[in-house]
Amino acid sequence: MKSLVILISGRGSNMQALIEARLPTRIAAVISDRPDAAGLEIAKMYGFETKVLDPRSYSLREAFDTVLAETIDAYEPDLIALAGFMRILGDGFVNRYRGKLMNVHPSLLPAYPGLGTHSRALREGVKIHGCTVHFVTPRVDHGPIIIQSAVQVLPDDTEETLATRVLQQEHRIYPEAVRWFMEGRLKLSDNRVEVSNAVINGSVLFSPGLHQ
């Protein structure tokens, strides 16, 4: 069975979604860059091995990346999933795991890379927002897209209400993307990802809706 290492920084809700999806994989470890990450206790509750690597213990980012890579490699994972891991990783680290490093981002990339995605979407008046699962590349939040999910932006949305609906979709599509990887259904070519046997219904989403 293929194995997975999950990296977290906070509450670990996407990590928990991966755990509860009962994916065809062995979760080898959960690693956090913050000793106070709430997700560590959740991982322990489920019986998974946890480790903490605090970047403040390293004078250079490259030193932290090296130790993180050594820690990950000890588990020999087939895939590393960033689940709310907030630290930007160096190019050397990212290139080391090309095609094996996956992330979920709270926007419909390439729109709104980086932080503050929901407030930016509301400020610019978009009608459709959502989330993206992608492979990680040195260019932050611009890696090959695996799957996306869209939500309608409602007239009375706040940053909090929009974030809640987007997070619900993250919990749906991230386990699916990891499942596809573990089943060998993803083919990465340049900046495109093909998914074998994916369901494409050809539907069009209008927002606001159109009169029939």
- Nearest by Cα to 140 from 181, 166, 173, 110: 110
> Residue with structure tokens 């609906």?
165
Is 204 within the bounds of a domain?
no
What's the domain count of the chain?
Answer: 2
What is the domain-level CATH number for residue 143?
3.40.50.170
Is this structure's pTM higher than 0.85? yes
Domain finish residue from 43, 76, 97: 97
The helix/strand/coil state of 209 is: coil
Q: What are the φ and ψ backbone dihedral angles of 199, each rounded to 5 degrees? A: -85, 120
- Domain range enclosing 13: 1-97
Is 77 within the bounds of a domain?
yes
Q: Give CA torsion, residues 152, 158, 159, 160, to 10 deg.
A: -100
Catalytic residues: 105
82 and 117 together in one domain: no
111 and 176 together in one domain: yes
8 and 66 together in one domain: yes
Is 205 within the bounds of a domain?
no
Distances (CA, A) of 62 to 51, 66, 67, 90: 19, 6, 9, 7
Distances (CA, A) of 24 to 21, 135, 145, 153, 179: 9, 19, 22, 34, 7
143 and 92 together in one domain: no
- The pLDDT tens digits along the chain (212 residues) read 999 999 999 999 999 999 999 999 999 999 999 999 999 999 999 999 999 999 999 989 899 999 999 999 999 999 999 999 999 999 999 999 999 999 999 999 999 999 999 999 999 999 999 999 999 999 999 999 999 999 999 999 999 999 999 999 999 999 999 999 999 999 998 889 999 987 766 666 777 776 65
Distance, in Å, from the CA atom of 9 to the CA atom of 20, rounded to the nearest integer, reads: 19
